[in-house]
Chains A and B, each alone.
Chain A
Amino acid sequence: MTHKFKEIAAHFRDLVLIFQLLLVWLRLSKGLSRRSLRTVAAVFRVVLGLVGLIVTLASRASVPPLNAQVPLHENTLYTQLGLEPSIERRSCCPACYTSYSISNAPPKCTHCVTPGAQPCNESLDTLRHRRRQGPVKVSRAFYSTQDFEAWLTHFLGRPEVEKLLEQSWNHVPSHDTMYGLWDSPAWTGFQNGWTSGRHHLTFSIYIDWFNPYGNKIGGKVVSCGAIMLVCMNIPPEHRFRLGNMFFAGMTPPPYSPNVAAINELTEPIIRQLLMFWPGKVIPTFQHPNGVLVGVAILPVLADLPALRKLCGYLSFSATYFCTWCRCRQSDLERLDLENWEL
């Protein structure tokens, strides 16, 4: 009789996990409100508490008391289940977008644009009044980036992902008519066919700015930038699903950074990617002990202004406006293609 209770006690954690998953499903898939989630979680607590009490009483205290519980708060739930993405949040200068770690950020920005220039000197902190603590010093802006390695481990840990990726590695390019990126000379010719190597992932980088308040006439204009990476090895129909894209970072609102400041924001992301060239060992679903995964960025997807900002070209209305040829703004009417200097 006692060993049966011990068996129940051993499965008690699984029971708690089932309740936790049920709560997450209700919240994310069924759109349950936070308040209702708390009520449901409280009911589950009562149920689990009763189960624990019955087991303890019936076994006459031969098993240790079962006190695992479901959390009442949504965020605790995600943390306990390991669903939270690993995000690095840094204090960011609102003027030049240099980022500092939150714990030891200087009061004023010390970044110099060029080695001999004056420091930026923009104040990084502001006072915000909290109901209980009173005025608290907080950073004026934050720059959040997602950890690429953590995301990649999670991404490759999903059972279906490697099957999708294999389609690109096994793809035989058609020579005459091209039906997609995998047939293009840019793909097949990249680093002597690097793209078709196993566990070689090619990403495209995307950046654009949007207004989180919506574009309304007379409305507030706020510019918030999203930097995304899309894995081009996934077939096109799965490529742009939310779960398959890497949200690299979000530029701090309310303004979009200028041509010099954008480098401060993209550099940490590029440095993360640089660690994966030529490769790094990552555990995947099919190779739990790790396999060498290489990551490269091939195309940049953006509209004209964002493209110029990200890649360090001048504006589309500058004298040298073109990213391919040496035509000038005054040559805009020239249509003699064979004489263009590429």
Chain B
Amino acid sequence: MDYAAREAQASSTGVRWSPLHLLPYWDPVESLVLDYMHNFLEGVLQSQLRIFWAIGITKARVKSFVDYDKELHALEYDIPDDTSEIDDELASLRSDSQAHEEQLTASRLRARTISDDSMEIDDFAAPNSSFSSASSLPNDDTSTIRAESSHPSDRDYIDVDPQPAAEPTFSPAQIEMIQQAISDINLPSWVSHPPFNLGDATHGSLSADELLILFEIIFPMKLPEIWLLNPGNVRNGLLLRNFADLVLSSNIVTSFKTSAALADQYTVAATQDMISRTVPAAKLWKSRSKGSEGEKQSGEVFNQLESGEARVEQRLLIYKMGEAVQ
């Protein structure tokens, strides 16, 4: 078998040769262990904190949202009444801007894919470069986009793209409450204390241990209180539900004991967490493909919560979380 055939086989089946297959008892599927430090603590928890909740989101990412927001607003006000004098310019621009736009969309989508899928989310201090391709547009190009985006055929493009940070999950006052809670909660001296200025770029990237402490000890003590200050709010209910699922699944994953029943419970909680991440209330996180399973189900959750079941649901969740923590 030559090299090309080997590669073709690898990409069609997803498997390559490894000397481990020499061992007669080797089971290539059962023998793998997923490390929960990289995948759960630094993956799931970190993306919840920094992308979904936008606490300590990278500057580049925020900038790209803000730039995009500006562009959208510029659209609404900057369309001149008299278009005759720029018509020629428009015509000449349209052809190359079309190409540019496609390229831009592609690069944005690629940038999202890279930053969402990569194993480690970029450091707080070092802004992520994957978004810079989309955010650092030269000045003369902005007009191109404006001209092109004003074209009605481009509405779809705007809908698919990540929405700007119109409504962050936590208000500055709420972030302050969280920071206060971090400094108020006493931890044993051998437990690493998360930074008091959580969300500030100066504390650098959080270690897996600090993330665990945040999500297992500090957030369950403070966040339900923040969200229940205004219990009728549907959005808060959704956020609480999502958070409860996350805490439940992280408690199961990090526990020193397990059983088949707990594994099933984890599957349910983790799936629910992923589904409720796409709640319409959270503008920062949008499903990559429209009409995906997650979006459909989160719509159902939304309806269910709106129809008065929210209170009962919340009580239940708080109880469930307490149980999991013990």
Contacts and interface: CB of A to CB of B under 8 A. Distances in A.
A334 interface: yes
Contact of A323 (B32, B38, B257, B275): B32
A263 B22 CA distance: 11
Interface stretch (B13-21, B67-75, B97-105, B152-160): B13-21
B30 A186 contact: yes
A312 interface: yes
Name the interface size band of chain A. Answer: 35 or more
Contacts of A39: none
Q: Which 5 A-B pairs have the closest CB atoms?
A: A320-B14, A312-B18, A312-B16, A267-B19, A270-B19
A179 interface: yes
Interface in A160-215: 176-179, 186, 190-191, 204-205
Contacts of A266: 18-20
Interface in B12-44: 13-26, 28-35, 38-39
B258 interface: yes
A114 B6 contact: yes
B256 interface: yes
Contact of A117 (B2, B17, B21, B28): B2
Contact of B38 (A186, A205, A303, A334): A303
A297 B271 CA distance: 32
B224 interface: no
Interface string B273-295: 01100000000000111001110
Contacts of A204: 33
Contacts of B6: 114
B249 to A, nearest CB: 13
A274 B23 contact: yes
A179 to B, nearest CB: 5
A298 B27 CA distance: 8
Contacts of A259: 16
B190 interface: no
B326 interface: no
Given A266-B20, A310-B18, A333-B287, A178 B271 contact: no
A63 interface: no
B16 A305 contact: no
B218 to A, nearest CB: 27
A141 to B, nearest CB: 20
B161 to A, nearest CB: 17
Nearest to B2: A114
14 contacts: A117-B2, A177-B259, A263-B18, A270-B19, A270-B22, A298-B31, A300-B20, A300-B31, A301-B33, A302-B35, A307-B32, A311-B28, A333-B293, A335-B274
Given A310-B18, A317-B117, A324 B29 contact: yes
B229 interface: no
Interface in A283-342: 296-305, 307, 310-314, 316-321, 323-324, 332-337
A259 B17 CA distance: 9
A301 B6 CA distance: 26
A336 B294 CA distance: 9
Contacts of A217: 126
B25 A191 contact: yes
B24 A277 contact: yes
Contacts of A312: 15-18, 20-21, 28
Given A205-B20, A304-B34, 8 more contacts: A177-B257, A177-B258, A178-B258, A274-B23, A303-B35, A312-B16, A320-B11, A335-B275
Interface in B162-203: none
